């Protein structure tokens, strides 16, 4: 949510920041609604003062026996009461109109975010590892002889429809091992607190984390107004909604492994082969709550946490800063980490780490109080994948593939697989 006071103070700057996102200026419309709202409030306050003054004069007129003045003042009090109620209702309507408009406007990019229209204008800032040189044409994950029997899209379609998968056997175990490895690394080495949150959340939680109203069609809603989480960002971030935290409690760093659900609205025809883009998937999600002055350093720290997972798995990747035209709705700045997939001969996103500033905090009224200060301030929130488990599975399978269709597994996973080091051509862990 945007600060209306900041828009009043610098409408030109607000419009210029929106232009970087490819949007037309909106300050004039916003300030017109704000002015109408404030005018109604002022008018209601004036009418209230008139009513109070008249109320005081009613008794005096009655005591003097001035019946005409008494009736005039009594009618005035009644008229002012009705006028105040109408003005307050109109102000309330303008306030709701303003809040709805502000809730649909994306966050403003930070000054150092590269300008651009789409993913082609993103800027690479880091690269790690060298893609393996295969002496055969590498296959995509679902084509591998060791994987195909244990990655069943037909049965999933029978159960649930398209964009679902049933994993079994060795592939299911490697998938589970990856999530366990990520959680243990983040909690034991990166200092995050593990949380096991609900994956059904209220509309308020979706709104507070900027998923509503704009992206309702991208998520699944139950008949009793719960939402299936698109990512654990929603419950983890919303856990501080309405709170005033102590400065000493920040930063608050959390991690969760959950199922995630997305309708993939608008993605028809994209990544339909394999399990790259699913309606149901698993992610290990990181969320940090920080003081404003610490959030950019936290963005870098969280990015390194996600990168470290890939390095431990020996998976080549690159990190890019998203340009203004490719950033997500709530982000001020985003680092995308893209893992190398030899089957596609391309880098594909496996993590997005974003700082939102106080954009979400304002929506959910999450604040903190500095030591010795009385007035609380809004916290800053950050979120990032650490990592998408299914996409990490794809990368492990494709990068470890052998000519016979077997898969050599990363050493970091061996302890989580009972010492097993590969998936044989027959699809067995060995």
Q: What's the angle, vertex CA 400, arms to CA 396 and CA 403, rounded to 5?
A: 145
CATH number of the CATH domain containing 53: 1.10.287.40
Q: Is 349 a catalytic residue?
A: yes
Residue 266: pLDDT band by 50, 70, 90 thresholds? Answer: low
Q: Is 387 found in the same domain as 324?
A: yes
Q: Is 123 found in the same domain as 63?
A: no
Does the pLDDT value for residue 272 go beyond 80?
no
Q: Which pLDDT does position 302 carry in this prediction?
A: 98
Position 114 in a domain: no
Euclidean distance between CA atoms 279 and 287, whole angstroms = 22
Catalytic residue among 21, 253, 262, 363: 262
Q: Which pLDDT does position 264 carry in this prediction?
A: 79
Catalytic residue among 72, 97, 277, 318: 277
Q: Which pLDDT does position 268 carry in this prediction?
A: 61
Q: Is 308 found in the same domain as 183?
A: yes
Catalytic residue among 27, 288, 351, 352: 352
**Predicted TM-score of the model (pTM):** 0.93
Q: Which pLDDT does position 198 carry in this prediction?
A: 98
Position 71 in a domain: yes
Q: Is 293 a catalytic residue?
A: no
CA of residue 112 relative to chain centroid, distance: 21
| Last residue in a domain, options 103, 133, 165 | 103
Coil, helix or strand at residue 348: strand
Reference 134, options 285, 340, 289, 303; nearest CA is 340
Position 203 in a domain: yes
Q: Is 277 a catalytic residue?
A: yes
For the chain, the domain total comes to: 2
Does the pLDDT value for residue 270 go beyond 70?
no
Q: Which pLDDT does position 311 carry in this prediction?
A: 98
Euclidean distance between CA atoms 321 and 302, whole angstroms = 14
| Lowest model confidence (mean pLDDT) among 15-24, 68-77, 318-327, 330-339 | 68-77
Position 109 in a domain: no
Q: Is 361 found in the same domain as 287?
A: yes
Euclidean distance between CA atoms 399 and 385, whole angstroms = 20
Reference 336, options 348, 353, 324; nearest CA is 353
- DSSP letter assigned to residue 417: G
pLDDT above 90: percentage of residues in the chain: 90
pLDDT tens figures, 72-113:
888 898 899 999 999 999 999 999 999 999 999 999 999 999
Phi/psi of residue 180, nearest 5 degrees = -65, -45
Burial class (CB in 10 A: 0-12, 13-18, 19+), 346: exposed
Cβ-contact 372, 267 below 8 angstroms: no
Euclidean distance between CA atoms 100 and 30, whole angstroms = 11
Q: Is 194 found in the same domain as 343?
A: yes
Burial class (CB in 10 A: 0-12, 13-18, 19+), 55: middle
Q: Is 338 found in the same domain as 258?
A: yes
| Mean pLDDT in residue range 287-307 | 98
Position 184 in a domain: yes
Q: Which two tokens stand for residue 322?
A: 């998203």
Q: What's the angle, vertex CA 236, arms to CA 327 and CA 373, rounded to 5?
A: 95
Domain of 313 in residue numbering reads as: 119-423
Euclidean distance between CA atoms 255 and 394, whole angstroms = 22
Catalytic residue among 88, 90, 143, 349: 349
Position 47 in a domain: yes
Which helix (H) or strand (E) covers residue 156, if one does?
Answer: helix 153-159
Q: Which pLDDT does position 393 carry in this prediction?
A: 98
Residue 60: pLDDT band by 50, 70, 90 thresholds? Answer: confident
Q: Is 267 found in the same domain as 346?
A: yes
Q: Which two tokens stand for residue 397?
A: 């399978």
| Mean pLDDT in residue range 146-156 | 97
| Mean pLDDT in residue range 380-408 | 98
Q: Is 391 a catalytic residue?
A: yes
Give Cα separations from 289 to 211, 249, 379 (angstroms).
18, 9, 7
Classify 421 in phi/psi space as left (phi over 0), alpha (psi -120 to 50) or beta. Answer: alpha
Does the pLDDT value for residue 426 go beyond 90?
yes
| Last residue in a domain, options 75, 103, 131 | 103
Catalytic residue among 354, 363, 391, 406: 391
Q: Is 370 found in the same domain as 268?
A: yes
pLDDT tens figures, 377-388:
999 999 999 999
Q: Is 266 found in the same domain as 360?
A: yes
CATH number of the CATH domain containing 390: 3.30.930.10
Position 352 in a domain: yes
Q: Which pLDDT does position 64 carry in this prediction?
A: 82
């Amino acid at each position: 949510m945007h600060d209306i006071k900041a828009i009043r103070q610098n409408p030109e700057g607000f419009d210029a920041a929106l232009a970087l996102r490819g949007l037309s200026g909106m300050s004039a419309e916003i300030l017109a609604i704000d002015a109408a709202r404030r005018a109604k409030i002022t008018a209601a306050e004036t009418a209230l003062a008139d009513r109070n003054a008249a109320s005081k004069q009613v008794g005096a007129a009655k005591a003097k026996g001035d019946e005409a003045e008494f009736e005039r003042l009594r009618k005035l009090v009644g008229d002012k009461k009705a006028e105040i109620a109408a003005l307050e209702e109109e102000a309330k309507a303008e306030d709701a109109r303003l809040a709805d408009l502000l809730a649909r406007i994306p966050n403003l990019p930070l000054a150092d975010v590269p300008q651009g229209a789409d993913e082609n204008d993103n800027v690479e800032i880091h690269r790690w590892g060298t893609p393996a040189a295969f002496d055969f044409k590498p296959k995509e994950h679902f084509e591998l002889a060791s994987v195909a029997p244990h990655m069943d899209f037909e049965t999933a379609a029978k159960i649930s429809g398209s964009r679902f998968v049933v994993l079994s056997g060795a592939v299911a175990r490697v998938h589970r091992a990856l999530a366990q490895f990520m959680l243990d690394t983040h909690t034991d080495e990166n200092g995050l607190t593990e949380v096991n949150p609900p994956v059904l959340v209220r509309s308020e939680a979706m709104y507070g984390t900027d998923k509503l109203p704009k992206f309702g069609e991208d998520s699944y809603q139950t008949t009793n107004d719960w939402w299936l989480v698109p990512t654990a960002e929603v419950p983890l971030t919303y856990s501080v909604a309405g709170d005033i935290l102590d400065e000493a409690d920040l930063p608050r760093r959390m991690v969760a492994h959950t199922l995630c659900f997305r309708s993939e609205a608008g993605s028809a025809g994209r990544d339909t082969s394999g399990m790259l883009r699913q309606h149901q998937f698993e992610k290990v999600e990181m969320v940090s709550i920080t003081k404003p002055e610490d959030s950019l350093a936290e963005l870098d720290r969280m990015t390194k946490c996600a990168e470290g997972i890939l390095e431990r798995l020996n998976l080549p990747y690159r990190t890019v800063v998203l340009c203004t035209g490719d950033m997500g709705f709530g982000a001020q700045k985003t680092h995308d980490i893209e893992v190398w997939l030899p089957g596609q001969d391309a880098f594909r996103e496996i993590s997005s780490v974003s700082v939102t500033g106080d954009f979400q905090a304002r929506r959910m009224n999450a604040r903190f109080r500095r030591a010795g200060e009385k007035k609380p301030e809004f916290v800053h929130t950050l979120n990032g994948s650490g990592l998408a488990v299914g996409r990490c599975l794809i990368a492990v399978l494709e990068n470890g593939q052998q000519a016979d269709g077997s898969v050599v597994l990363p050493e970091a996973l061996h302890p989580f697989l009972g010492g097993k080091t590969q998936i044989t051509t027959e699809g067995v862990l060995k």
